[in-house]
């Protein structure tokens, strides 16, 4: 189930997710369920006579079931009515599944529930359940969707952030709307929502190898370890010559 969901997320992060059997149209991206709301899950598909509708949550790679919203409902009905439990912890990473056999599950996009407690801080990419975008869709657009290509990753106007987000080479969008990789870009005032993968992180450069100067080479050649190795090598050479 989880692998199916993850693969769908990676390809359709801005749409409703479904396996072959069921296409869920509601809830969708941007949906908010509040405590005690009367809501409806809508889908298309009738591959199984009866289906379960489940509320799940968590990361795309490790979804957990929170509750069964409807059990044994005729798939041709195409809807499940539910009153939102006021004890559901508030969160941004909820989704709904429809189906009986996990191989036939349809999945909704992530949505938000406001019920018990405050919503956790918005981190990661908003329309990906508040999670970081996966490697295959590495960029979070200004409108909050994971994707790849100029609409998601590249500056929209030269080095300016514009309506898109900065790319991996210049990942941070400064307070002045310029993409770059310096502390000035990634520090105070950096706009995470327009920065690569939704984060203000300065790239870590790999250390360059340094050349030894003459004094360092002489010191290295005279080190106890080098002297011992040279001594053993000479002895082995003498033995081999005998």
Neighbours of 134 (CB within 10 A): 17
Q: Are residues 30 and 82 in the same domain?
A: yes
Beta carbons of 101 and 91 less than 8 angstroms apart: no
Q: Are residues 27 and 57 in the same domain?
A: yes
User: Would the pTM of this model clear 0.85, i.e. be above it?
Assistant: no
Q: State the pLDDT at residue 134.
A: 73
Residue span of the structural domain in which 43 resides: 2-127
**pLDDT, tens digit (0-9, with 9 covering 90-100), for 169-209:** 888 888 777 788 888 788 888 888 888 888 888 776 544 55
Q: State the pLDDT at residue 227.
A: 43
Beta carbons of 187 and 200 less than 8 angstroms apart: yes
Q: Are residues 7 and 90 in the same domain?
A: yes
- CB contact burial 205-226 (16+ within 10 A = b; e otherwise): eeeeeeeeeeeeeeeeeeeeee
Mean pLDDT of 133-139: 73
Q: Are residues 13 and 119 in the same domain?
A: yes
Q: Number of structural domains, the chain?
A: 2
């Amino acid at each position: 189930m989880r692998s199916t969901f993850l693969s769908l997320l990676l390809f359709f992060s801005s749409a409703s997710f479904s396996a072959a059997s069921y296409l869920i149209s509601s809830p969708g991206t941007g949906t908010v369920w509040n405590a005690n709301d009367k809501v409806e899950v809508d889908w298309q598909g009738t591959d199984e006579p009866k289906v379960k509708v489940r509320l799940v949550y968590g990361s795309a790679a490790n979804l957990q079931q929170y509750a069964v919203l409807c059990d044994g409902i005729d798939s041709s009905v195409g809807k499940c009515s539910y009153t939102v439990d006021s004890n559901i912890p508030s969160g941004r990473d909820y989704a709904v599944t429809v189906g009986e056999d996990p191989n036939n599950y349809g999945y909704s996009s992530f949505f938000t529930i406001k019920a018990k407690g405050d919503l956790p801080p918005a981190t990661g990419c908003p329309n990906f359940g508040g999670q970081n975008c996966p490697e295959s869709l590495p960029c979070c657009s200004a409108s909050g969707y994971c994707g790849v290509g100029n609409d998601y990753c590249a500056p929209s106007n030269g080095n300016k952030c514009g309506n898109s987000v900065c790319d991996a080479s210049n990942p941070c969008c400064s307070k002045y709307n310029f993409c770059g990789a310096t502390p000035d870009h990634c520090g105070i005032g950096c706009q995470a929502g327009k920065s690569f993968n939704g984060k203000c992180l300065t790239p870590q450069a790999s250390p360059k190898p340094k050349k030894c100067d003459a004094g360092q080479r002489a010191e290295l050649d005279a080190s106890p370890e080098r002297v011992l190795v040279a001594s053993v090598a000479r002895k082995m050479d003498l033995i081999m010559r005998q």
